Amino acid sequence: MDLINSLLNLVVPPASLVMLAFAWPALSFINACEWVYNTLYSENMEDKVVIITGASSGIGEQVAYEYAKKGAKLVLVARRENRLLGIGENARQLGAKHVMIMAADVVKLDDCRRFVTETVNYYGRVDHLVNTASLGHTFYFEEAIDTSVFPPLMDINFWGNVYPTYVALPFLRQSNGRVIVNASVENWLPLPRMSLYAAAKAALINFYETLRFEAKEVGITIATHGWIGSDMTRGKFMLEDGAEMQWKEEREVQVTGGPVEEFARLMVAGACRGDAYVKYPSWYDIFLLYRVFAPNVLGWTFRLLLSTNGARRSTSLIGTGRPLLESIPPPKLLTGGPFTFPQHNPQQHQQKME
């Protein structure tokens, strides 16, 4: 057996590359035809019900606007209900047929059950679940003094996606719906200061790749982005699904990225086409080939590009005694306004958007 494996190790990689090179033109043509067909017959989202977590800022906010332009009925979920009010009004003006506001914490299973149940009780269905809640960091792992901040990073980036999916999956099966995942290139491309974030995203990708085979009636779109123009790239810690951090940090090197609006547009368009993957920008994929076939080259390149002269200056405020997350108030009863605010008792009257 060892001899066979040794032989396969020598033969399979180069043979596969040769076969892929010859098949590349045909595969590209097939993919192009499939893209054209799916674009012409993409899903009509008018009056469809879309739940968006992490909708109070960043990617989630822009995704809400894209679905609003398509005439969908939106359920906006986040911790900052005051932010959701303004975003809901913007979405209504852009064409959303109806907007429901829900203050909830996606890392709490009971909260996830509540907003999914309220959605089904009111609309009768769920067509798309868009998980955009995410929490990034830019500290070196060895700089962390207070390890109590580790679980929130893993909870939001992993369980904050798994819990809503777990609760919504039976209803998505009924509607042949779709789950859209906000992933990141860091799930396979190593970058410094993002160790826990990258680990959580890697776990998330593997979870949804497995779920494809377990829940065949439900489509899954994994949207992977590189550096985009979000708060994290500007050196500002944010909870996309919750309250802003009580402090900010400054990067030694300011980073710029692509517009978040463009990523959100591609994300929604890809979901409506039924794409399994959305990548922005797509040229990042070339690094995956290097990682598989020439990992040392990739490692040397990143060490060269990311090396710094002299002692590095810490930008992490973890362990300074300042709170990492703002306290999250319990769900409150919201009334009035042009939106629907779900009640804890689903039998009570709910106001519709005018």
DSSP track, 110-131: HHHHHHHHHHHHHHS---EEEE
CA 169/CA 219 separation, integer angstroms: 11
Average pLDDT of the segment spanning 31-51 = 91
pLDDT score at 95: 94
Under the banding of pLDDT at 50, 70 and 90, the label for residue 340 is low
197 is catalytic: yes
Looking at per-residue pLDDT, the higher value among 155 and 302 belongs to 155
Average pLDDT of the segment spanning 113-131 = 96
Coil, helix or strand for 64? helix
Residue 62 reports pLDDT greater than 60 = yes
Structure tokens at 52: 């968006």
Task: Please name the fold of domain 31-234+257-306.
Answer: Rossmann fold (3.40.50)
Under the banding of pLDDT at 50, 70 and 90, the label for residue 258 is low
**Is 294:118 a contact under the CB 8 Å cutoff?**
no
List helix spans (H) across the chain: 2-40, 58-69, 81-94, 109-123, 150-154, 160-175, 195-214, 260-273, 285-293, 295-306
CA 310/CA 328 separation, integer angstroms: 41
Q: Of these residues, 65, 123, 163, 197, which one is catalytic? A: 197
Q: What is the DSSP letter of 245?
A: P
pLDDT score at 308: 54
Predicted TM-score (pTM) of the model is 0.78
pLDDT score at 265: 94
**Per-residue pLDDT reduced to its tens digit, 208-245:** 999 999 998 999 999 988 766 544 444 444 433 333 33
pLDDT score at 188: 82
Looking at per-residue pLDDT, the higher value among 249 and 67 belongs to 67
pLDDT score at 229: 52
Average pLDDT of the segment spanning 180-199 = 85
pLDDT score at 309: 41
Locate the domains of the chain by residue range.
31-234+257-306
pLDDT score at 244: 34
Highest mean pLDDT among 132-141, 210-219, 237-246, 338-347: 210-219
Under the banding of pLDDT at 50, 70 and 90, the label for residue 60 is very high
Question: What's the chain's average pLDDT?
Answer: 79
pLDDT score at 65: 96
pLDDT score at 342: 60
Average pLDDT of the segment spanning 5-29 = 88
Q: How many other CB atoms are found less than 10 A from the CB of residue 68? A: 24
